[in-house]
């Protein structure tokens, strides 16, 4: 099976995150729309530009030049101090949103992530997921991202670096000759600055020329790095998305609907589909949930959520769905048009921590065995091979991510 990889890159992260935080604190000015930079102490001539707005860029200001030089170019320049506490806050917010799509996330830097979606797609394609993520980041977090869509990390990274900001680009193997090969070799990921002039001396100036160069010659000139350069120029990369296996504090899943829904029966089907995925992940982690939360967003972007406590900690799809359905019915008002639905479980404990209770009965044990049997079949034949009767029609309404 071909890998399904996304690379998410926040546009102008430090300046964007500062702008979002300032707007939340009541600022009337969006510093992304004025000549502004993020830099060090402006009283020191050695302070440098860490990030710049488009207006500042139009003034000729460059990243890494001194603030002193930047102010000469743009006398009205607004300067803001770097604040890594704010950057970490928004980096974590992005990461937590992405966790709703896959558990396999590599935080490549504070503003970049690789996502392995290979086993997390359900009757959907990678480009659609990229569009959904891009839209949600903009609407829910207030900043924009570039997203690269490809079958390996290298091509996803290269794609996300194409035109910016707020863009989604694909780079599949068949697109390499037209999208990647015409680029200068300096644009190739992981190509060191020292290698560029050496390649120029060999009359290799584009990625395409590097891809067609003699591999043995490159190995003699550059050693193992020469082989890597040739492979990257040809789009070859077998590296895995490196992710940490951590027990989650909560597990959630939400979906922005392709059209607003007013029928509560259809909303119940969607809640069931979301619950099934959430509980599947719960059981994979060998965790039990004490709390269930259902979120609704109306067509007017009003957010509503209800939370309920389970009688017993559980990973049962049936029990958690019953609670989620109750919460939905408490929130929903007739005629309300819903554009987003989410289900989340919290206050998780490891199964070994579960206390023996008088409430646990034969019915609970039967349900647990049924869930395990369904999980085993999904593991063997794929997540989509079995579906519950209550959500048979939901595939026509939405497309959800798959689970590994």
CA distance 136 to 118: 21
The H or E element containing residue 221 is helix 215-222
Q: CA torsion angle for 75, 78, 84, 85 (degrees, to 10)?
A: 160
Query: Catalytic residue among 42, 58, 65, 112, which?
Result: 112
Decide: residue 7, CB within 10 A, 0-12 exposed, 13-18 middle, 19+ buried. buried
How far apart, in Å, are the Cα atoms of 258 and each of 128, 217, 255, 264?
A: 11, 53, 9, 16
Token look-up 């030089």 returns 69
Half-sphere exposure of 346 (CA within 13 A, CB side): 9
Cβ atoms 348, 251 nearer than 8 A: yes
Residues contacting 39, CB < 8 A, separation 6+:
47, 48, 49, 50, 67, 70, 79, 80, 81, 82
Q: What does the buried/exposed string (b/e) look like for 260-294 if buried means 16 or more CB atoms within 10 Å of the residue's CB?
A: ebeebebbbbbbbbbbbbbbbbbbebebbbebbbb
E strands, 186-286, where? 251-261
> What is the sign, positive or negative, of the torsion defined by CA atoms of 226, 229, 235, 236?
positive
Residues contacting 75, CB < 8 A, separation 6+:
none
187 included as an active-site residue: no
Helices (H), 29-115: 54-58, 67-73, 84-98
Catalytic positions are: 112
């Amino acid at each position: 099976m071909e890998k399904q990889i996304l690379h998410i890159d926040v546009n102008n992260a430090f300046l964007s995150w500062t702008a979002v935080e300032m707007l939340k604190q009541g600022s009337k000015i969006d510093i992304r729309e004025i000549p502004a930079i993020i830099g060090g102490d402006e009283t020191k001539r050695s302070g440098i530009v860490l990030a710049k707005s488009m207006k500042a860029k139009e003034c000729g200001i460059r990243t890494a030049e001194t603030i002193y030089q930047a102010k000469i170019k743009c006398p009205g320049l607004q300067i803001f101090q770097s604040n890594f506490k704010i950057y970490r806050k928004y980096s974590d917010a992005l990461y937590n949103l992405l966790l709703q799509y896959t558990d396999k996330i590599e935080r490549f830097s504070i503003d970049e992530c690789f996502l392995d979606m290979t086993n997390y797609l359900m009757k959907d394609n990678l480009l659609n997921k990229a569009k959904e993520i891009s839209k949600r980041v903009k609407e829910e977090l207030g900043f924009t991202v570039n997203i690269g869509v490809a079958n390996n990390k290298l091509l996803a990274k290269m794609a996300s670096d194409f035109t910016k900001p707020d863009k989604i680009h694909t780079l599949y193997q068949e697109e390499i000759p037209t999208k990647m090969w015409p680029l200068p070799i300096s644009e190739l990921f992981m190509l060191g600055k020292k290698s560029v002039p050496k390649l120029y001396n060999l009359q290799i100036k584009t990625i395409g020329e590097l891809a067609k160069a003699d591999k043995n010659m490159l190995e003699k000139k550059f050693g193992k790095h020469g082989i890597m350069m040739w492979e990257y120029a040809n789009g070859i990369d077998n590296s895995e998305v490196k992710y940490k296996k951590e027990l989650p504090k909560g597990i959630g899943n939400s979906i922005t609907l392709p059209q607003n829904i007013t029928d509560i029966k259809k909303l119940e089907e969607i809640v069931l589909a979301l619950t099934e995925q959430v509980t599947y992940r719960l059981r994979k982690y060998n965790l039990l949930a004490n709390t269930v939360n259902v979120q609704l967003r109306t067509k007017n972007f009003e957010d509503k959520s209800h939370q309920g406590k389970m009688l017993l900690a559980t990973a049962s799809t049936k029990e958690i769905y019953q609670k989620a359905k109750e919460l939905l019915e408490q929130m929903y008002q007739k005629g309300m048009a819903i554009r987003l639905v989410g289900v989340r479980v919290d206050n998780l404990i490891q199964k070994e921590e579960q206390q023996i209770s008088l409430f646990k009965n034969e019915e609970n044990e039967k349900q647990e065995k049924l869930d395990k049997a369904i999980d085993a079949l999904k593991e063997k034949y794929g997540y989509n091979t079995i579906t519950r009767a209550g959500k048979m029609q939901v595939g026509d309404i939405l497309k959800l991510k798959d689970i590994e």
